[in-house]
Structure 1
Amino acid sequence: MADDLETFAPVAEALADAARVVTLEHFRTPLAVASKGDHFDPVTVADRAAEAAMRDILARMRPDDAILGEEAAATPGTTGWTWVLDPIDGTRGFISGTPTWGVLVGLRDTDGPRLGIVDQPFTGERFYGASFGPSVAHWTRGDERRNLRVRTTTDLADATILTTFPEVGTAAEGEAFARVARHCRLTRYGMDCYGYALLAAGHVDLVIEAGLQVYDILAPMALVQAAGGIVTDWQGGPAQDGGTAIAAATPALHAAALDLLNG
């Protein structure tokens, strides 16, 4: 079977469907919360069970592909394709009952991200983007479906900017973000992956983050790019391996924000 969108789209949808069921079983229920580090980095049974469900599907549908997930060891593959999974991006939001966390399903080859899903199980929204030849980006909720396209904003003074944590990353990274935010019309916090979905859907203009892992950014990057946006690191280079990321609706916003980040 050829490696094309018709091959991978049903697999990606099945992964998101499985994780949606598992995460909703646990959302807004009493949960034991563990931490994966010295600083509070929460993980729950929902994170681990959702990733396990996705890995089970890949073992059946794409057993020769590699898998890189947040909660279990990486699995090597032989096809050149890697599925990048984050069962709950925004576990802090998940355990707080907020609806801005999401399930991330990404697919990459040696050239970078090719497909990304940001799924919000509680609201029933799925944001999907893929680039296999012509780009495809759409939003679905039940029987509703809309194509996705980023906004056309070119001036920072008209822009809405998002990030997840007010401190962003290191002190220097936080100050760099603040330099950009001071030039924007509106700044909002705490969105996790949902911020990238809002960018792809044309509701906001910039998402700037730091301290990312590959599973945090791969799927959102594929989604935003498929919707016409730009995603790089803070130096304008590739962002798919994590670290810093700036996602922008237009080249003009991207260039202006990069100048300030490196100001």
Structure 2
Amino acid sequence: MSDTMALEGHARAIAEIASATSMRHFRGQLGVEFKEDESPVTQADKNVEKEVRAYLAQHFPDHGVFGEEAGKDLGDGRHMWVIDPIDGTRSFLSGHPLFGFLLAHLIDGQTQLGVVGMPALNEVFVGITGKGATLNDQPIHVSDKTSLDRSILYVNEGDKIFHDHPVVFSRLMRAGQTRRFAYDCYPHALLAAGHVDAVVDYDLQPYDFLALCPLIEAAGGVMTDWSGNALTLTSDGAVISAATPELHAELLGLLNA
């Protein structure tokens, strides 16, 4: 078995663990706390990350781990697993089913594998660099849209974009044939599956976007920061996903006009 296939098997097993754990808490007693930045965290967030870290410690004791709740362990310095135990905690705590689980694997800082689990929807998206992308083991691919005015555009974190970049927000409100507001990972996963053509997102952390990059790129799309740079552990968290290079270029022009 190749190293990539072995990693994929472990990643799928981890997604199952995360899904089962989060669903035991979903729409139940959550034990909500708020961090210094006023972002919420639940007992489910902590338990999912604890179980994922335990699995990784058992199977990959030398690998580094970077999780939203427990921080970063560098490990061997080459391999890094990046975890968002519940992407969309505000959705989760309000009973909304569009929360996700995100897992990325990096080698020498380059993302090789990304998993987006949607526990309440029983969906698991997997993208592997150079190998393709799947949804529940079935191949997926981005759309072929090349023009923004004929595209389905999702604007994530629209309230933050409006506050920090009102001119950009105004441009976005005139873009796309169909425009939707959203949060978190699912719009990007829908883009990988060909249902959404472009996503503009903002104010993310590495554990919010690193799992999305290999998924979208393995499905044939493009994902960068707002300046067109590749996403890394040090990116600033303003990101765009696009189904085609033409859409990506048009979005970059809109954001940086």
Q: Say yes or no: TM over 0.5.
A: yes
Given candidates 117, 132, 136, the residue that maps to 2:132 is 136
With over 3 angstroms needed to count, the CA separation of the structure-2 counterparts of 1:93 and 1:233, relative to structure 1, is same
Deviations 1:85-131 (A, max 9, x none): 00000001111111111000111122521100100111100011001
Q: Does 1:104 align with 2:96?
A: no
Q: Alignment partner of 1:74: what SS? A: strand
Aligned to 1:261: 255
TM-score, normalisation: structure 1: 0.92
Q: Does 1:198 align with 2:190?
A: yes
**Distance in structure 1 (CA, Å) of the matches to 2:17 and 2:166:** 36
Amino acid at match of 1:35: F
Question: Equivalences for 1:81-100 in 2 at 5 Å?
Answer: 81-100=79-98
Give the conservation status (yes or no) of the 8 Å contact 1:166–1:174: no
Give the conservation status (yes or no) of the 8 Å contact 1:167–1:174: no
Aligned to 1:68: 66
Amino acid at match of 2:216: V
With over 3 angstroms needed to count, the CA separation of the structure-2 counterparts of 1:174 and 1:68, relative to structure 1, is farther
Give the conservation status (yes or no) of the 8 Å contact 2:156–2:202: no
- Which one is further off, 242-251 or 179-188? 179-188
Give the conservation status (yes or no) of the 8 Å contact 2:78–2:109: no
Count of residue pairs brought into register by the alignment: 255
TM-score, normalisation: structure 2: 0.94
Q: Alignment partner of 2:127: what SS? A: strand
With over 3 angstroms needed to count, the CA separation of the structure-2 counterparts of 1:175 and 1:239, relative to structure 1, is farther
**Distance in structure 2 (CA, Å) of the matches to 1:74 and 1:205:** 33
Amino acid at match of 1:137: A
Question: Equivalences for 1:126-165 in 2 at 5 Å?
Answer: 126-131=124-129, 134-140=130-136, 145-165=137-157
**Distance in structure 2 (CA, Å) of the matches to 1:100 and 1:136:** 24
Q: Does 1:183 align with 2:175?
A: yes
Q: Alignment partner of 1:122: what SS? A: helix
Aligned to 2:10: 11
Displacement after TM superposition at 1:219 (Å): 0.2
Task: Return 5+ residue gaps in structure 1 as ranges.
Answer: none
Displacement after TM superposition at 1:170 (Å): 6.6
Aligned to 1:27: 26
Aligned to 2:241: 247
RMSD: 1.6
Amino acid at match of 2:59: M
Give the conservation status (yes or no) of the 8 Å contact 1:168–1:174: no
Amino acid at match of 1:253: L
Amino acid at match of 1:13: R
Give the conservation status (yes or no) of the 8 Å contact 2:162–2:169: no
Aligned to 2:45: 47
**Distance in structure 1 (CA, Å) of the matches to 2:78 and 2:166:** 36
**Distance in structure 2 (CA, Å) of the matches to 1:9 and 1:97:** 30
Given candidates 196, 199, 218, the residue that maps to 1:226 is 218
Given candidates 75, 78, 99, the residue that maps to 1:77 is 75
Deviations 1:233-262 (A, max 9, x none): 111112233421111000110001100100
Q: Alignment partner of 1:157: what SS? A: helix
Moved over 6 A (4+): none
Displacement after TM superposition at 1:135 (Å): 2.2
Task: Return 5+ residue gaps in structure 2 as ranges.
Answer: none
Q: Alignment partner of 2:120: what SS? A: coil
